[in-house]
Amino acid sequence: MDSSIDIRSSLNAPRRRAELARSAEETADVLVVGLGATGAGAALDAAARGLSVVAADAHDLAFGTSRWSSKLIHGGLRYLAKGEVGIAHESAVERGVLLRHTAPHLVRAHPYVLPLTGDVSRAREAAVMAGYRLGDALRAAARTPRPLLPGPSRLDAARTRRLAPFLSPDGLRGGLLSWDGRLLDDARLVVALARTAAAHGARILTRCRVLELTGRGARARDELTGEEFEIRARVVVNATGVWAGGLDPRVRLRPSRGTHLVLAPGTLPGLTAGLHLPIPGAGNRFALLLPQPDGRAYAGLTDEPVDGPVPDVPEAPEDDVRALLGLLNAVLDVPLPREAVAGAYAGLRPLLAGEGGTADLSRRHAVLGGERGRWGARGDAVVTVVGGKLTTYRRMAQDAVDRAVSAAGLGAGPCRTARLPLVGALPAQGVSGAADGLPTRGASGAGEGPPARLVERYGAEAAAVLPLVRAYPEEVGAGVTAGELLWSALHEGALDEGDLLDRRTRVGLVAADRAAALPAARAMLARAAAGEPPGA
């Protein structure tokens, strides 16, 4: 594994300052507003087509909805149940793109078990297994190889409890095993997208708030200095998610809140698969319990409509926490007390407004504005992309950039992102048979190289991160070392403690862990600012 780094992808405070100044002086082809998955994906798409790109966010990379997901990269099975075959197929295709080509270091196959308890009737069991087989057919239609994503199977009770030892044995007759894609960390996907865009020439400006779209670009403010300036661009892509209506009055959204619990390490020992837990009275909806490499587990998620102003950081209400705990306690051998919840987080889905409850709204995305032939009229220099979901961020970005290129008459090549590896990408690893009769991922192949934990987080860049980890090996929480915080400040665009603890890592999901890690975060930011070499 190469220990070098493509310096063109490095994001840091000095680069931000230089590119902020340049963005105030030059006219870009495309201005992208919002640096979640879709916005960062649009910046990469446009830059990879040879366009000049400025991408701005009022806060940080992955500050909004993109970091609050369930970490699933799913193949669209839930949409089949609603008859939304097109969306299901699109999800399966995009999952395959991530697994095979663009981010196999970040997106991997993961097993999920539906425990067959007394609350799951034989008829429902048969229906769910039929759905899993349809999902496997979607995998085949999307041309995702079987070694990357195994098919479904039925487990007996003993094997189900080997994957989740804390399940109550009372009435447990087995489990249904399925496989889907998952992210170790959704925010890291966004960081990889932004850095890959930067390597292709995009100017990535965090802490740069777009105040108003002007028709010739935008009026913006540097949130670190308060200075206001104009960013000139031939076309604007508004990818601000649930905040899109603040810049484009055509947007009508009905946000939905999804809450997750963060269970403390050791709360559910031995959990090696995700669990799908049926939600009583909710038809085909399931809650999810997902183990994390640091010993934590995430449990979610709710689907509640949100009215009124959209907050920058949504809060997880106590009602959601209690509801999720109740669902878990219905299937566990040893009930979880409220104290087992070390933290909680909530994200807002940017759903297109429609009839019925938020659970009934389509996850289809839409591209608004930029109609060819009306260039020059107010608002037509703005393309807004809304709706959708994390799995299909790349297709959303492609559709938005296609519309922007057409609207502004830009000379650009076709989309390249379906085969463009992100920073750190490694060859895709398949899944092979193992003990217990359950498939597992193949060996990482790291050999004498970096530890597997670093490879899982940084992919091909793990060897470059390793010297910093050796120089600053102190663990700051959730298995993260001080050296990794320094890496994030030097190369991943982290500007303050929140960037380091809440987005480049997930130490901050637990308040006590965050408080304990603050001194190390501040020390590493100071070292990065001083330009001190490792070990100095």
Please state, rounded to an integer, the average pLDDT across all residues of the chain. Answer: 90
- C-alpha span between 43 and 52 (Å, rounded): 9
Domains 13-66+187-253+360-411 and 256-271+292-349 belong to one CATH topology? no
Cα angle value 514/519/520 (rounded, 5°)? 90
What is the predicted pLDDT for the residue at 377? 43
CB 415 within 8 A of CB 45: yes
- Contacting residues for 68 by C-beta, under 8 A, at least 6 apart: 186, 258, 260, 314, 345, 346, 347, 348
Half-sphere exposure in the Cβ direction for 411 (13 Å, CA) = 0
Confidence of residue 279 (pLDDT cuts 50, 70, 90): confident
List pLDDT tens digits, range 65-84: 999 999 999 888 878 777 78
Bond before 509 cis per omega within 30 degrees: no
Helix axes 37-48, 186-199, angle to 10 degrees: 20
Burial of 245 (0-12, 13-18, 19+ CB in 10 A): middle
Q: Per the structure block, which two tokens stand in for 457?
A: 């987080």
What are the phi and psi torsion angles at 427 (to 5°)? -60, 145
- C-alpha span between 75 and 383 (Å, rounded): 27
Q: How far is CA 32 from the centre of its chain?
A: 18
Fold of 256-271+292-349: D-Amino Acid Oxidase; Chain A, domain 2 (3.30.9)
CB 231 within 8 A of CB 29: no
For range 181-198, the mean pLDDT: 97
- C-alpha span between 456 and 454 (Å, rounded): 5
List pLDDT tens digits, range 124-175: 999 999 999 999 999 999 999 999 999 999 999 999 999 999 998 999 999 9
Whether the pLDDT of residue 208 is over 80: the answer is: yes
Confidence of residue 119 (pLDDT cuts 50, 70, 90): confident
- Which CATH number fits the domain 13-66+187-253+360-411, given the four candidates 3.20.20.70, 3.10.129.10, 3.50.50.60, 3.30.70.330? 3.50.50.60
What is the predicted pLDDT for the residue at 5? 84
Instruction: Give domain limits for the chain.
Output: 13-66+187-253+360-411, 256-271+292-349, 450-530
- DSSP letter assigned to residue 332: B
Q: Quick one: which of 117, 142, 146 has its CA closest to 392?
A: 142
Confidence of residue 354 (pLDDT cuts 50, 70, 90): low
CB 53 within 8 A of CB 28: yes
Confidence of residue 199 (pLDDT cuts 50, 70, 90): very high
- C-alpha span between 69 and 36 (Å, rounded): 12
